[in-house]
A and B are shown apart, each in its own frame.
Chain A
């Protein structure tokens, strides 16, 4: 009985601390710049967090299964370029998003092929994919950044538009939250991700097709990253092949700050939601505090390391 309490204590502590960090960031940024609390309207935060959140949630399941996807940044940029190019060609935004998502799904399929079928370490496989896809995106854009403002009027809708006073991005966020919480709690995919990340051999022996599930997780993550890319490009009004640089870092920070274990077997989609908000608030807060964007690299690197270290401390203090 005692040990069960130990376990749930740990998740209680983790839940408290992620929300705590979010609260601290809010307070600190408000203290630095009182406009922060009033300044970025909720819609702005939502529009900023949307791409990150949509990608972080499936990537959380992937990390719980003991895998990582370093190619999400390039998928994001690549799909933004695809959507912009199609939109420039006169296609409606919704169709363009759909096509981008299918392509992202294909990229995820290849990631899954490399990791699950060809058994290449996920770090290497997705690092390679990251740069390959970056190359593809650059080939597509050539030397020009495809500015699409005004070309197709609905290009900006999903990133910036509003429906009944709510940003369109809200619906993407809500959909992602519902889908992935349900997947984690109720589906084979969710439960088995924990089993695979915890003990792969035992899962396979229990009849779980671990390779295929991880493959599926890569496919979902790929598609989600593509949707994220469309949200991001649409919000910016511009698609740039290099816009995904550092995005994988944001995703990993959001996941790890939520206490998901890099080694797999442990984690929570819900805490990653909070994690994504923490990263976005950090970005917006730093911007509003007048911190040059260069410094954000340093801050984010430090936050990543701090998050992992904090998680380690919690694990040591609470589990024993």
Chain B
């Protein structure tokens, strides 16, 4: 019917959504700059960009999991575990640590976190446990390991200086290493999502898992891989956060599963699966990050943030529903045709 007219600007639904999100990001940016002049200063923007890098990193694989219709609630626990384990592995022996070289500690803690991710995949895909329940269980396990490793507080003394590099290294006056890592990971995930067979299969699974199976997609392997990636990235995030802090704190990473879900949904990923983009999630993280930052500038206590986020997420879901509503009416017309 109107197919020819559309030829001028060929944009998929995903593309349109991302464009919308980008527009929203800019609007939020402008509004915040107007209501709070301190927002646009270079120092503040630097904070916003760098503070949210870690959340972006963990949200990447979680976005893909959500597109396949799975949750990962364990990321917060894994973040805590990754940081504590890395610190403990390289902490000097007299201080109670394992005294391993930093590189070994880094790799070992990532391996442990990947192991939790593997366990998530095993529980959901092999044993058929709902992903919510499985990852709630592993969240507790990972957090427990963090508590045990840090004896309920922090691994701080006797940690080598190199431990603090990943989180604190700066390039020029604006960029930090975590941000650079984030950019690399986002590019990698964007590439995987849009340009690879792996990415296509994620959408197939989200759209119809049964049909994907019958089309020869190795669903189990695919989702397992995502859970493992999720464990790996959460571990990396944990190490970065611990490095920033200069210590492995067992309480780090609380609320990350909540923050990730807020950003992912705000970024246009459907809670029912099948739709979503990693770029949308990046934008979602920064919108939330900017709003939180402005609240801070106004002197609101951090406790207000979850309340604002709660409102934002409910608003985002309703907005998506509203936007989809147009789509449904469109669909109805075509079905009748």
Contact = CB atoms under 8 A, between A and B. Distances in A.
Find out whether A and B make contact in their complex, taking CB atoms under 8 A apart as touching: yes
B139 A301 contact: yes
28 contacts: A118-B317, A118-B318, A120-B317, A124-B265, A124-B313, A127-B261, A131-B258, A134-B306, A135-B304, A136-B307, A139-B303, A249-B137, A262-B132, A292-B152, A294-B144, A294-B152, A297-B141, A297-B143, A298-B140, A298-B144, A301-B138, A301-B140, A302-B137, A304-B136, A304-B137, A304-B140, A305-B133, A305-B134
B318 A132 contact: no
Interface string A249-278: 100100010000011000000000000000
Contacts of A312: 127-129
Contacts of B133: 252, 256, 262, 304-305, 308
Given A114-B314, A294-B148, 5 more contacts: A139-B301, A292-B152, A299-B144, A300-B140, A309-B129
A105 B186 CA distance: 43
A128 B262 contact: yes
Interface of A: 68, 114, 118-121, 123-124, 127-132, 134-136, 138-139, 246, 248-249, 252, 256, 262-263, 292-302, 304-305, 308-309, 312
B136 A249 contact: yes
Contacts of B139: 301
B305 to A, nearest CB: 7
B306 A135 contact: yes
A104 to B, nearest CB: 17
B314 A297 contact: no
A121 B69 CA distance: 12
Contacts of A119: 321
Most buried by B among A132, A138, A246: A132
B145 interface: yes
Nearest to A304: B137
Given A294-B152, A295-B148, A301-B141, A131 B271 contact: no
Most buried by B among A123, A130, A136, A297: A297
Interface SS majority for chain B: helix
Q: Which 3 A-B pairs have the closest CB atoms?
A: A297-B144, A301-B140, A294-B147
B261 A302 contact: no
B127 A249 contact: no
A130 B90 CA distance: 36
A139 B304 contact: yes
A252 B129 CA distance: 14
B246 to A, nearest CB: 22
Contact of A127 (B130, B137, B145, B257): B257
A135 B304 CA distance: 6
A177 to B, nearest CB: 25
Given A304-B136, A304-B137, A129 B317 contact: no
Interface in B153-203: none
B134 A296 contact: no
A263 B73 CA distance: 18
A128 B137 contact: no
A302 B306 CA distance: 29
Contact of B261 (A124, A132, A295): A124
B193 to A, nearest CB: 22
